[in-house]
Structure 1
Amino acid sequence: MDDRDRFAPAAAGAPTSDPYRRYANALGTVRLPAAFVDLDALDRNGDRLCMRARGMPVRLVTKSIRSVGVLRYLLDRFPYLQGLLCFSPAEAAWLASQGFDDLVVAYPTVEPSEIARVAAAVQGGASITLMVDDAAQLDVIDRCAAAAGTSLAVAIDMDASTSFPGLRFGVYRSPVATAKAALALADAIARRRHLRLDGVMGYEGQIAGLNDAVPGQRVRNRIIRTLKARSIRDVHRRRGAIVAALTAAGHRLRFVNGGGTGSFESTARDPSVTELAAGSGFYLPGLFDHYAVTLGEPAAGFALPVTRRPAPGIVTCAGGGYPASGPIGPDRLPKPWLPTGATLIDNEGGGEVQTPVRLGTADALPLGAPVFFRHAKAGELCERFDTLLLVRGDDIVDRVATYRGDGQCFF
């Protein structure tokens, strides 16, 4: 079956209006726990991202998708998606073997075995760009390229965090924060016989990945928005200076990548940026619920079966201990999604073998009934399941493998 065939629109007829009932009907004969993607919601999220990008090309972030079948669908469905932003060199080499091209690895590596896989793929005709932010990384990459008898493209990852008095607003990624530092690294790249500079990336995670409209936190929201506004000006100024300095020095840049799902509007206004990046905006996980800008709607989740009814208004589900990476806190736990109003029990959370849930109404769910959850992060859901069920309307239209289902684990 062709990938496009499996995602064909459902037959005419309105789907069930109640979302819980719709998903419960669709997954009625499926063994639970199970993960799924709602293709109708996925399409709407893709249309929204297109509108927000305002004509700028978008590099699809594989870390947030982690399924070859879904990657193919998105690239075919949305022409504004151009190329992939990968999270591992080994992943990029594997995706190249699956027929994908124009692959940029977002994070540096000094693991020779992974770089060797990339060099072999490039020698075979693939287009893969590695990320660097330190001259010491260049030596390993150059040696691997020489051993493979090829040259490798690299991109400079700039620091997009902003330093305020007593506060680092952003993440600890790259040490390349100024045009001077970028020029020094670019010159070091030029001195390596088997390397060439291909582009610049600057991911402003403190803007793209930070909630700024959390209910009940009006003061915090105002502070975050103020910090974001100041950081946007700082990032635009420094990124523009870096790109201008590299260009003036004769370095040719194929791309300047910036942003993420939560920062399309501000990043697209930076004239030095040539492409955006997005992935989470397609599945829209729990950590993207509270932004001043409407980002979309949930399109991916997982279902756990009710196996116990320990007290009135409470059911206990099998499995569910799927926390997300990052700072430990309640926002990293899976979110009960449907039925509406369901919540976790504070002193239990999501458990490895069972997860109790307080229902929003007095109506009890029968044993075996599903409770639907959303993961806090997008692609990390796929590390827990071999298969994604593809739902359109009231029906499962197909099943596709996750990276895990394809036997792949990149970290």
Structure 2
Amino acid sequence: MSYGDKRTYRQYANAFSQLPMPYAYLDLEYLRYNITDILNRSGQKQVRIASKSIRSVSVLRYILERDCRFSGVMCYSAQEAVCLAERGLDDLLIGYPVWNEESIRAICCLIKQGKTIVFMVDDVKHVDRIAYFAREEQVVLPICLDIDMSTQLYGLYFGVRRSPVRSVGEAVTMAEYILSQPFIRLEGLMGYEAQIAGVGDHTPKQALKNMIITYLKRRSIEEIANKRLELAYELKKRDIHFRFFNGGGTGSLHSTCKEDVINEVTVGSGFYGPALFDSYRDFQCAPAAGYAIEIVRLPKEGVFTCHGGGYTGSGATGTDKLPQPYLPLGSRLLAQEGAGEVQTPIMYKGEERLQLGDPVFMRHSKAGELCERFKTLHCYEYGQITGQIKTYRGEGWCFV
């Protein structure tokens, strides 16, 4: 599936010509393409939206309203879950363990009011702490058990350091422990295969690395599927029930959705289509979100220095975490400078006659950083600006 006509530099430059830079935008036509593509690639699974990648209440609502299979949000912070619940969103899964007492008690109050908010655990200490406050507040709290899906092949650790619950046996023991505690219940399981969902395998000029990653992914996919199937079987054998088994991510929908035991997948980055997802073999996102920085210096022919722009992606540092020039086509960063906090030189020798005051359109490497830097997203549709929406930052929210 292709996202059709590619945007030109002049389309965006003309549409946004009256806006002061820097500004961020959301191409609603491309967003709708990504929504449709995600629904197609997810089969008939329910799709939970990863708020870490979206960070805008309006965009979360926009996606949730597009199809009934969008059925909840995975939050990255307990405080965020509280704010979203107070804005009317529901079925909120907190993707990371919560320890703070104030946050736990605030969620207890919302659950008493009828909200569905699920805690994440991967340690008996998490369970005991949540059970303690649940007893004090006299409310039953739903819990999701996070199981590690990393793999080790030939001594190589392929995955991320998340849950210490690694084996099926450990997961069963944890599930039984959860069931033994009053005032909490096992609501779901999560097994996130980050090494499939978050690692590109089609990076230009890295043929050997691509081959290795493709092989590791293939081996890991098989191991993960067997592990999740075995876990579901062992829990069913013990008459242990749960509402959802969550897996997947933007980069692993094609494999995760083949598993019958998975009834819910989480997707975030695929809605905005950041630059890191250009390097995946099995799908192509439309570049729906980006930002513009202003040319303020002309240090030499073919080099255009812009103000700001160095919004680097999280994780291990590397050139793949730098934002990338998007339009005009053919523009690129200078290797010795990259993207800077206060200035970003761009190399460009194409047909556009760039001048002082002109924009260069950029894309983040990862989806989550965009809305942390801008208060609003300007909506582009059918060749013009059709509105603007607040980001979390525009709401005055800062969670981590």
Same fold (TM over 0.5): yes
1:226 and 2:220 correspond? no
Is the Cα contact below 8 Å between 1:313 and 1:363 reproduced in 2?
no
Mapping of residues 313-332 of structure 1, within 5 Å: 313-332=302-321
For residue 364 of structure 1, report the CA deviation from its aligned partner.
4.3
For residue 360 of structure 1, report the CA deviation from its aligned partner.
3.6
Relative to 1, partners in 2 of residues 1:360 and 1:290: Cα closer, same or farther, differing over 3 Å? farther
For residue 109 of structure 1, report the CA deviation from its aligned partner.
2.0
1:176 and 2:170 correspond? no
Q: Which residue of 2 aligns with 1:99?
A: 88
Q: Which residue of 2 aligns with 1:158?
A: 147
Q: Which residue of 1 aligns with 2:355?
A: 366
Mapping of residues 10-409 of structure 1, within 5 Å: 19-361=8-350, 363-409=352-398
Corresponding letter in the other structure for 1:305: E
Corresponding letter in the other structure for 2:140: S
Q: Which residue of 2 aligns with 1:9?
A: none
SS of residue matched to 1:77: coil
CA shift digits 1:119-140 (9 cap, x unpaired): 1111111101111000011122
Is the Cα contact below 8 Å between 1:315 and 1:364 reproduced in 2?
no
Is the Cα contact below 8 Å between 2:277 and 2:285 reproduced in 1?
no
Relative to 1, partners in 2 of residues 1:362 and 1:54: Cα closer, same or farther, differing over 3 Å? closer
Tell me, in whole angstroms, the C-alpha distance in 2 between the residues paired with 1:360 and 1:273: 49
Is the Cα contact below 8 Å between 1:336 and 1:344 reproduced in 2?
yes
Tell me, in whole angstroms, the C-alpha distance in 2 between the residues paired with 1:217 and 1:259: 25
SS of residue matched to 2:65: helix
Corresponding letter in the other structure for 2:363: R
SS of residue matched to 1:256: strand
For residue 379 of structure 1, report the CA deviation from its aligned partner.
2.1
Corresponding letter in the other structure for 2:245: V
For residue 262 of structure 1, report the CA deviation from its aligned partner.
0.7
Q: Which residue of 2 aligns with 1:3?
A: none
Tell me, in whole angstroms, the C-alpha distance in 2 between the residues paired with 1:321 and 1:144: 43
SS of residue matched to 1:31: coil
Identity %: 44
SS of residue matched to 1:317: strand
Corresponding letter in the other structure for 1:143: Y
Tell me, in whole angstroms, the C-alpha distance in 2 between the residues paired with 1:367 and 1:148: 61
Is the Cα contact below 8 Å between 2:328 and 2:352 reproduced in 1?
no
Structure 1 range deviating more: 87-96 or 185-194: 185-194
CA shift digits 1:25-73 (9 cap, x unpaired): 1211111100110000000111111111122211111111000011111
CA shift digits 1:47-104 (9 cap, x unpaired): 1111111222111111110000111111112332111111111111111111111111
Is the Cα contact below 8 Å between 2:99 and 2:126 reproduced in 1?
yes
SS of residue matched to 2:144: strand
Q: Root-mean-square deviation (CA), in Å?
A: 1.4
For residue 111 of structure 1, report the CA deviation from its aligned partner.
1.7
Relative to 1, partners in 2 of residues 1:18 and 1:159: Cα closer, same or farther, differing over 3 Å? closer
CA shift digits 1:247-300 (9 cap, x unpaired): 222221100001001111110111211111111111010111111112321000
Tell me, in whole angstroms, the C-alpha distance in 1 between the residues paired with 2:243 and 2:310: 42
Relative to 1, partners in 2 of residues 1:396 and 1:190: Cα closer, same or farther, differing over 3 Å? same
CA shift digits 1:373-404 (9 cap, x unpaired): 00011122100011111111211111111011
Tell me, in whole angstroms, the C-alpha distance in 2 between the residues paired with 1:18 and 1:377: 20
SS of residue matched to 2:185: strand
Corresponding letter in the other structure for 1:166: G
Corresponding letter in the other structure for 2:169: K
Is the Cα contact below 8 Å between 2:298 and 2:305 reproduced in 1?
yes
Tell me, in whole angstroms, the C-alpha distance in 2 between the residues paired with 1:255 and 1:18: 39
Tell me, in whole angstroms, the C-alpha distance in 2 between the residues paired with 1:196 and 1:298: 40
Is the Cα contact below 8 Å between 1:340 and 1:360 reproduced in 2?
no
Tell me, in whole angstroms, the C-alpha distance in 2 between the residues paired with 1:55 and 1:187: 30
Q: Which runs of 5+ in 2 are unaligned?
A: none
Tell me, in whole angstroms, the C-alpha distance in 1 between the residues paired with 2:232 and 2:188: 9
Relative to 1, partners in 2 of residues 1:356 and 1:246: Cα closer, same or farther, differing over 3 Å? same
SS of residue matched to 2:258: coil
Q: Which runs of 5+ in 1 are unaligned?
A: 1-15
